Amino acid sequence: MKLAAAALSAAALSAAAGAAWAQDTVKIGALMIDSGPLAAFYQYSVAGLETAVVEINEAGGINGRPVELVSMTYSGTPEAALQTATRLVKNDKVAAVTGMIPTAVALAIAGRATALDTIIIDPLSAAGTRCNQNYFRVKASSEMLGATYKAFLQQNPLESWDIIAGDTTSGHDNAESFAEDVQELGGEVRKQLFTPVPTPDFGTYITQLNQEPAKGLLAIVYGADGVTFAKQQQQFGLLDKYEVVLGNNFAIPAVLPAMGEAALGVIQNVTYVPQVEGDGPRKFADAFEKIAGHEPDDVAFDMYTSMIALAQAMNKAGTQESAAVSKALEGLVIDSPVGPLEIRAEDHQMTRPYIFAEVVAAAPDSGKTVDYQIKSIIPAADYMPPPSPECTM
């Protein structure tokens, strides 16, 4: 009888301790999309966030309390994002929100960050200026992305370029920005071709590019269309006819395995590749691989970075209260695998180096067909546009 009572008492104490532990966590909400075009980023995003949670908790958590990730899926629309974020804040009592926040969602949710009285740290969108005291962006903006190409052109001048891009707003904007930079630096853009999205057959466009190709080619062809273009051009050897082939969201990690050898020689700009961590133990890549079973991409790295930034700011503030965390995030510098990353106080944009990496044949024992080889790393100071004067908190 005494043994049974003792066992019951121990079980009760264990249950009470478990309940206290659950109540004594710092909850971070994650908006996640597991269907539609962005579903390809879902697994990388989840594993990136989980990698950060493990690291934060092993280092003592946030203000001495363990971090708990509260993920909630939504459809990817601005309306669904606002509803889901509100539930996370009001019902689940999360201290901040991060996760899969595409551009359309970012434009809507940034303005609600103050009303929700929570920090929203965005690792996915490249939206335009939407300044809010509680909204912060980890991913490079579209303006930053364009500026990296100008810096690359300054280092690698060519007299002529062709451009192929999807017939979308971003395709036209990126093509126009690149063409202006080429002309400013004394070069010329000969052909600008815009393809329907999606495009099952790039034959007509490949034929046009094959006719007296310029010295360089910029490919602004995304996702499945990018894979289709890479595969179809291969039989004509189109990319081999250019001295330089630059990718703008073209040969990115998410689609590189599907492109395979068709992408050889393409120089793609990315914010992270595992090679940047060197040949020895890799802090982020190795930790991510333990969780996911494969190497991370730049999306996973940005998710990881958003969580690390939140933890460091909350520890710096000594609280999870949004106003204090916002102030702690302003000017915060994170020591990351790609170097120091600073969150500017003026516009809450993270400054970061950009990597230009060439697609090369992978090592025979790697289990991959192709991989990246870093060509150059452009520091933030060499390309970052200044904060927009329109940004007022």
Give the residue-averaged pLDDT of 132-137: 95
What is the assigned CATH class of domain 143-270?
alpha beta
- pLDDT per residue over 30-46, tens digit each? 999 998 878 888 999 99
**CATH fold for the domain made of 26-139+285-351:** Rossmann fold (3.40.50)
Burial code (b: 16+ CB inside 10 Å, e: under 16) for 318-340 equals eebebeebbebbbebebebbbee
Provide φ and ψ at 86, rounded to 5°: -65, -40
- pLDDT of the residue at 1: 35
Strands 350-351 and 339-343: antiparallel
Residue 248 and residue 278 in contact, taking contact as beta carbons nearer than 8 Å? no
From residue 99, give the alpha-carbon distance in Å to each of 70, 124, 150.
Answer: 10, 8, 30
pLDDT of residue 13 exceeding 80: no
Q: Which two tokens stand for residue 376?
A: 């150059």
Task: Kindly report, residue by residue over 225-262, the tens digit of the pLDDT.
Answer: 999 999 999 999 999 999 999 999 899 988 999 999 99
Confidence of residue 9 (pLDDT cuts 50, 70, 90): very low
Closest CA to 156 of 77, 89, 215, 238: 215
What phi-psi label fits residue 260: left (phi over 0), alpha (psi between -120 and 50 degrees) or beta?
A: left
Phi-psi region of 130 (alpha: psi -120 to 50; beta: other; left: phi over 0): beta
Residues 6+ apart with CB under 8 A from 236: 206, 210
Mean pLDDT across the stretch 144-155? 92
3-state SS assignment for residue 74? coil
| 388 Cβ contact partners less than 8 Å away, ≥ 6 residues apart | 129, 347
Distances (CA, A) of 168 to 18, 66, 101, 239, 253: 52, 44, 20, 23, 22
* pLDDT tens-digit readout, 84-103: 999 999 999 999 999 999 88
Instruction: Give alpha helix (H) positions in 24-129.
Output: 42-58, 78-90, 103-109, 113-116
pLDDT digits (tens, 9 = 90+) for 340-378: 999 999 999 999 999 999 999 999 988 899 999 999 999
Q: Is the pLDDT of residue 206 over 70?
A: yes
Q: Can you list the alpha helix ranges (DSSP code H) found in 24-77?
A: 42-58
Structure token digits, residue 51: 């990698």
- Phi, then psi, of 19 in degrees rounded to 5: -65, -40
What's the confidence (pLDDT) of residue 129? 61
Query: How much is the pLDDT for 4?
Result: 39
**Mean pLDDT, all residues of the chain:** 91
What's the pLDDT at 107?
87
Q: Which tokens in the block code for residue 341? A: 């990353």
Global pTM value: 0.86
pLDDT digit string, tens, across residues 288-346: 999 999 999 999 999 999 999 999 999 999 999 999 999 999 999 999 989 999 999 99
Q: Domain segments of the chain: what residues?
A: 26-139+285-351, 143-270
Q: What whole-number percentage of the chain has pLDDT above 90?
A: 79
10 pLDDT band, cuts 50/70/90, is: very low
Q: Per the structure block, which two tokens stand in for 155? A: 């280092």
